[in-house]
Amino acid sequence: MPQAWDTTTAARLRPDSPELEYVTNRWQLGDPVAFTASTLSEIFFGLCKATLPTLSERPNHQRLNSSAVDAQRGWLKDQIAAGLIDILPFEHRAADIAGALRARIPTPPPAPKRSKSRSKAEGRVAWMMDLQTSATVFVYGYDLISADAHHPLIAKELSALAPSAPPLLIEAPPKF
Amino acid sequence: MGVGEDTGKAARKPARRQRAPRRTGHRVQLTVPEDMWRELAGIARAAGTTANDVLVRLASERLHDRQRAVALRKLADERWQAFADASSTGSSNGAKKVKPLTAEELVKLSQASREED
C-alpha cells in the first residue's frame, strides 16, 4: 500500500540513514514514499527556526549550525527534485476535509506533558498541520506512517465524517 | 572474395549475439518507430541486453506505475465521494431555495478561529 510519512518519520530522512535506504528501495520498486506539503512545511519550518538568532534567545531553544541546516535543506530539496519522494499537495478536497475536521476538533487533545520546546500557540499550529496532513493523505488514497498519537484520533474523526469511506490506516514507522 | 575463402577469421568464434532473457507469454510482431528503436538499442547496449528486453522491461515498469496510479485514484475517489455524500459540501442542489448567507456572515464565519482565542 502506498505510504505517506508524517513528520515523526519524514524528519529522520538524511544522507546515509536507514530511512534513506528504505525510501530508495521503495522508489526502485516503483512505490515511492510520499510526504504531504504540510509535512514538508513542518520540516522546513523546524530547520529554519533552528538557525534564527532571535529565537535562539528563548530558553530551551537549541540553535544549530546553520551550514549543517542549509546542507540538510538543500539535500532534501534535491531528493524531492529527483523524484525520490512524492509530495502530495494540500488542494481543494484536502482543504475541505481539513476544515471539517477542524470544526469537529479545533484544538489538540490535552497532552499529559507538553513539549518544553513548543509554545501553546505553536502546538495549535502543529495541530492544524496534523489535520492538513491527515486530510491530504486520506484524499490521495494513501496510508499514513506516523508515530504521533494524534493521527489515530484524527483518523477516527475522518471515519465519522465519511462513514462509508475506506478508512485512513495509520501504521507505525518501520523499524530501522 | 568468394564464399568459403580463408580470410584468417574463420577460426575465430563469431561474437555472441546478445539474447533477451527467455520469457513465456504471448509472441507478437510489432512495428517500433525508428527513433524509439534507436533509443531502445542504445539503452540495451549500455545495459548489455537486447532492445526487445528493454522494451518489455519499460512496458512492465509503466504498467506497474499505471496499476499503482489507478488503485490510488480509485481509493482517493471512494474516500472523497464518501466525504462528499456525507456532508453538504458535496451538492449545491436546493441552494436556490434557501436564503443565502450575507457577506458579513460569511466573513465572520471565516474568521471564527480568530474569535476563539
Q: What is the mean pLDDT of each run of 10 residues along chain B (117 residues)?
A: 46 65 90 98 96 95 96 97 81 66 87 67
Rounded Cα distance, B61 and B67, in Å: 10
Low-confidence winner among A57-61, A120-124, A147-151, B29-33 (lowest mean pLDDT)? A57-61
Residue that the C-alpha cell 489507478 belongs to: B70
All three cell numbers of A77: 530539496
Distance CA(A21)–CA(A9), nearest Å, equals 14
Per the model's pLDDT, the better-predicted residue between A103 and A59 turns out to be A103
Please state whether the predicted TM-score (pTM) of the whole model is above 0.90.
no
Chosen from A96, A128, A159 to mutate, greatest number of chain B CBs within 10 A: A96
Cβ distance of B80 and A93 shorter than 8 Å? yes
Model pLDDT for residues B69-96, shown as the tens digit of each residue: 999 999 999 999 999 999 864 455 555 6
Residue B29: the pLDDT is 93
User: Running DSSP on this structure, what letter comes out for residue B12?
Assistant: S
Name the DSSP letter for residue B40. H
Q: What is the ipTM of this complex?
A: 0.88
**Cross-chain CB nearest to B80 (options A2, A106, A139):** A139
Q: Which of A58-62, A146-150, B69-73, B89-93 has the lowest mean pLDDT?
A: B89-93
Cell (9 digits) for A113: 506533558
On whether any CB of chain A is under 8 Å from the CB of B83, the answer is yes
Cα of B54 vs its chain's centroid, Å? 16
Single-letter amino acid code for the residue at A18 = P
> Is A100 in contact with B87 (Cβ distance < 8 A)?
yes
Q: Is B38 on the interface with A (CB under 8 A)?
A: no
Whether residues A162 and B73 touch (CB distance < 8 A) is answered with: no
Residue A26: band (very low, low, confident or very high) from pLDDT cuts 50, 70, 90: very high
Residue contacts between A and B (CB atoms, under 8 Å) = 57
DSSP of A122-142 = HHHHHHHHHHHHHHHHHHHT-
Nearest CB among A30, A139, A165 relative to B64 is that of: A30
Chain A residues touching B78 at Cβ < 8 A: 141, 165-166
Picking from B75, B91, B106, B111 by the largest number of A CB atoms within 10 A of its own CB, the best residue to mutate is B75
User: Is some CB atom of chain B closer than 8 A to the CB atom of A149?
Assistant: no
Question: What is the dihedral angle through the alpha carbons of A160, B70, B25, B38, rounded to the nearest 10 degrees?
Answer: -150
**Of the ranges A115-124, A166-175, B36-45, which one carries the lowest mean pLDDT score?**
A115-124
Grid cell in block for residue A168? 485512513
